[in-house]
Structure 1
Amino acid sequence: MTLAMSWDEWAATDAVGLAGLIRQGKLSAAEAAAQAAAGIARMNPTLNGVVEVFDDVVADPLKDGMNPAGPLGGVPYLMKDLGPTLKGRLQEMGSKLMVGNRAAADSFLAGKIRNAGLNVIGRSTTPEFGCCSSAENPAMYVTRNPWNLEYTTNGSSAGTAAMVGAGVLPISHATDGGGSIRIPAGATGSIGLKPSRGVFSIAPYASDLTGLVSIQGCHTRTVRDTAAFVDACRGGAPGEFMPYWQPAEPYTRLIQRDPGRLRIALSHEWGEYRAIPHFVAELERAGRLLESLGHHVEWALPKVDFRAAFAAQTTCYISNFAQTVNNLVTSLGLDSPPADLVEPINIRIWQEGMKTSFTERAKMQAVFNSTSRAFGEFFEEWDIILTPITALPTPRLGTTEYLTISDNPDIYDWFANLWRQFSYTPLENLAGIPAVSLPMGMQESGVPLGIQAIAGQAQDGLLLQLAAQIERALDGRWNDGRKAGVHVTAG
């Protein structure tokens, strides 16, 4: 098979660049899809990040309604096997329970994605129901980190992280209920923005209070791709229960200007959680770069009751996931999740979460409110909080304590273990504020370390402005200019 571009050219071209080539007639959407499919065929046997390629859409990019005139017209894209549904396509959610499940219709965001011109050519891997930190159940698949195959990509946007990190395609879908965009982007050297609440719709499902912590997004290699995706895909469906806001100007234009001098708070001591010394040193290194760009940087921390906030987050996770599992089980005519088809921790979450009372949810929501107010008050004095993306190193594959195949009998202990590792990402979901993982650090294992920038509600554009300023200062050389060891350009 003759490809339209060399792998070096392909991996050096971002989504905006590919769309430009297609608009100019230098590349066709079919050629771009074929190249991405060839990249998947080349990398997936090692990385296991793609569940299915839609061969019919690779052959005919217009088959499922992609808009070739969209700003990202013809750019190949993978949909995480969770969240937005695609009419007639399988959505199996990383679960044996859902094998063979087909969607009856496109979700609202799927329609936005197609209208943006993104060509959805397949499904990327996720842990069961997106509930844990790694797509790592040997009965389903084990997704590997392209930077070091002995390590996980983290999750739950695991397959997207592996494929973008390996240069297979420049942009791919991700979701985030507590860090699932940012954490895997951080461990695979990509850019992962969790937008503010009120940016991306999850209609027609979960458009109510239960869906407030979870949000959609993507992984990219350039800031302009993230900006283009948000500009093209944001907005609410008819009948949304909350406002969907619009920025004063498109982010693709905003990021061309540097932000003013920002007040940036370095932080890693969140209640009882602490980052390891190497991560603190990488955070300080990022802080020095930001100082060199003219920003004010010092250590500071919001006055958040972290213990109460993480307890509320745990209640939210347990009760929300229990209802997700229950809805799926009920739709299949079952009374409970079968032990041979649903992973043990998800069964325990269902068992515990079905007991959650309205009173417990009301207490949880009160803590959500007080936590959001504390962050809001902090952002009256500060523009940005900078943290490592995680407190502890990315786990090796086979570290089952973080997985939903764990045999831990205590679901609260299982979640407490997650928070010790993933300390800096869940509370942004709770508060509905934006945060982005930027590929600025490196772990001692050779796996990337994302540096997370957090901003106040609706300050997504400010985060992207800062990210673009950093990208220019680095001359586009994220990850110190290195590539993953397993990469489409290698061999």
Structure 2
Amino acid sequence: MTLAMSWDEWAKHDATALAGRVRAGEVTPAELAAQAAAGIARTDPALSAVVEVFEDVVADPLRDGMNPDGAFAGVPYLMKDLGPTLKGRLQEMGSLLMRGNRAATDSYLTGRIRQAGLNILGRSTTPEFGCCSAADNPAVYVTKNPWDTGHTTNGSSAGTGAMVAAGALPISHATDGGGSIRIPAGACGNIGLKVSRGVFSIAPAASDLTGLVSIQGCHSRSVRDTAAFVDACRGGAPGEFMPYWMPAEPYTDLIRRDPGRLRIALSHEWGDYRAVPHFVAELERVGRLLEGLGHHVDWALPKVDFRAAFAAQTTCYISNFAQTINNLLAPRGLSRPPEGLVEPINIRIWEAGLGTTYTERAQMQAVFNTTSRAFGAFFEDWDIILTPVTALPTPRLGTTEYLTVSDNPSVLDWFGNLWRQFAYTPLANLAGIPGISLPLGRQENGLPLGIQAQARQAHDGLLLQLAAQIERAIDGRWNDGRQPGVHVTNA
């Protein structure tokens, strides 16, 4: 098959550039789909990041209702196998229990994505129910990091992280209930924005009020792609519990201007959790870069009761995931999760969380409130807080202490392991504030290290403005211009 572009040419295009070429008549959505499918075929055998390619959509990009006049004009896109459903397509959630589960309807956000001109041509991998730090279960699949296939991508947006980093496609779906956009973006060298509450709808199955912590989004390789995705796909469905807000101007316009002089706090000491020294040095280096761009940078920390906040977050996850699992059992005539079809930690989460009382949830929400207020007070004095995305290096494959295949008898101890590794992302979900991972650092093992910026509620645009300013300052050379070992240009 003759492709529309060489792989070097393909890899130089972000989604915005590809859409521009479609509008100029230089390439068609079908040619883009064929190239992306070939890119997946070229890289996925080494990565196990794609569950399924929709060959009928590759052949006919308009088949499922993609709008070719949308902002992305037919740019290929993978949907994480979790969250928004695709009518008539499988959604198996990384679980043996869900094999063969086929969606009856599109979710609201699926329709927004299609209307934006993104061509959903397959499913990317995720750990079971999105609950752990990597898609690493040999009974399902083991998704590998394209920078070093002996390491994970982290999770839970595992396949998306790998495919965008490997150059198979420039943008792909991700979700974030505690860092699952930002953490794999950090480990794979992508841009990953977790938006504020009130941006992307999770209708009809839930809402920002009932879901509390889970956010939709994408991975990309350019700030303008992420900005365009938010502009095109944001907005609430009819009947939302809470209002959906709009910025004063589209982010694609906002990011063309540098922000004013920002007050940027650096931090890596979050309660009991600390980053390894090399990550602190990388954070300080990025701080100096930002000082060079004219910003005020210093060490500072919100006055948060971190132990209480992480305990509340743990209660939220255990009770939320328990109900998620429980809702999947009844339609299958099951009274409990079957061993062998549901991973051990997820069974223990179900057992631990099913009996969560209203009083316990009320106490949890009281801590959500005090934590959110503490971040709010902090952002009266500071515009941005900068941290590493993770505290510890990306795990090697098979490091089961972070996985739901773990034999850890204690769910609380298992979550404690997660927080030691992924300390800096979850509280943004708790507080509903935005956070973005930018590929600015490098781990000692050579993998990328994301540097995370967080801002006050509804200041998503400020994060994108700062990211765009950095992107211009480094001439677009994220990851120091490096490419991973598994990449479309060298597969």
TM-score (ref. length: structure 1): 1.00
Q: In 2, distance between residues paired with 1:212 and 1:182? A: 18
Measured in 1, the distance between the counterparts of 2:411 and 2:435 equals 27
- The aligned counterpart of 1:451 is 451
Q: Hey, what's the Cα distance between the residues in 2 that align with 1:408 and 1:210?
A: 29
Q: Structure 1 residue 210: deviation in Å?
A: 3.1
Shift of the alpha carbon at 1:212?
A: 1.6
Q: 1:272-311 alignment to 2 at 5 Å?
A: 272-311=272-311
Q: Which residue in 1 is equivalent to 2:142?
A: 142
Q: Which amino acid aligns with 2:88?
A: G
Moved over 4 A (4+): none
Inter-partner Cα distance in structure 1 for 2:478 and 2:196: 24
Q: Is the Cα contact below 8 Å between 1:51 and 1:123 reproduced in 2?
A: yes
| Structure 1 unaligned residues grouped into runs of 5+ | none
Q: Give yes or no for contact 1:194–1:215 (8 Å, CA) kept in 2.
A: yes
CA contact (8 A) 2:201 2:208 kept: no
Give the aligned partner of residue 25 of structure 1: 25
Residues 345 and 411 of structure 2 are in contact (CA less than 8 Å); yes or no, is this contact kept in structure 1?
yes
Aligned match of 1:350: 350
Partners in 2 of 1:222 and 1:208 — Cα distance? 27
Tell me the equivalent position of 2:439: 439
Structure 1 residue 208, shift from structure 2 partner:
5.4
Query: What is residue 207 of structure 1 aligned with on the other side?
Result: 207
In the TM superposition, what is the alpha-carbon distance from 1:181 to its structure 2 partner? 0.1
**Unmatched runs of 5 consecutive residues or more in structure 2:** none
Partner of 2:8: 8
Show the 5 A alignment for 1:57-96.
57-96=57-96
Aligned to 1:54: 54
1:108, 1:331 → 2: CA distance? 23
SS at match of 1:235: coil
1:83-122 to 2 correspondences below 5 Å: 83-122=83-122
Show the 5 A alignment for 1:400-411: 400-411=400-411
- Aligned equivalents of 1:4, 1:441: Cα separation in 2: 34
Q: CA deviation at 1:209?
A: 3.1
Match of 1:241 in 2: 241
Question: Structure 2 CA distance, aligned partners of 1:207 and 1:244?
Answer: 11
Question: Residues 14-64 of structure 1, C-alpha deviation per residue, up to 9 Å, x if partnerless?
Answer: 000000001111000000000000001111110000000000000000000
Aligned position for 1:168: 168
Amino acid at match of 1:189: G
Percent identity for Structure 1 against Structure 2: 80
Counterpart residue type for residue 288 of structure 2: R
Aligned length: 491
Question: Within the alignment, does 1:479 sit opposite 2:483 as a pair?
Answer: no
Deviations 1:296-344 (A, max 9, x none): 0000000000000000000000000000000001121111100020000
What is the distance in 2 between the residues matched to 1:94 and 1:58?
23
Asked if 1 retains the 8 angstrom alpha-carbon contact of 2:198 and 2:208, the reply is no
Q: Are the counterparts in 2 of residues 210 and 320 from structure 1 also a CA contact under 8 Å?
A: no
- 1:197 has 2:197 as partner: yes
Q: Secondary structure at the match of 2:380?
A: coil
State yes or no: 1:156 paired with 2:156.
yes
Q: Which residue of 2 aligns with 1:265?
A: 265
Aligned partner letter, 1:46 = A
CA contact (8 A) 2:126 2:159 kept: yes
Q: Is the 8 A contact 1:33 1:75 kept in 2?
A: yes
Q: Which residue of the partner structure matches residue 219 of structure 2?
A: 219
CA RMSD across the alignment = 0.5
- Aligned pairs (5 A) from 1:352-431: 352-431=352-431
Q: Deviations over 1:253-312 (max 9, x none)?
A: 000000000000000000010000000000000000000000000000000000000000
1:208 to 1:263, Cα distance in 2 relative to 1, 3 A: closer
> Structure 2: how far apart are the matches of 1:335 and 1:314?
24
User: Which residue of structure 2 aligns with residue 187 of structure 1?
Assistant: 187
**Shift of residue 117 of structure 1?**
0.2
Q: Deviations over 1:73-111 (max 9, x none)?
A: 110000000000000000000000000000000000000
Residue 226 of structure 2 aligns to a residue whose secondary structure is helix
2:490 maps to 1:490: yes
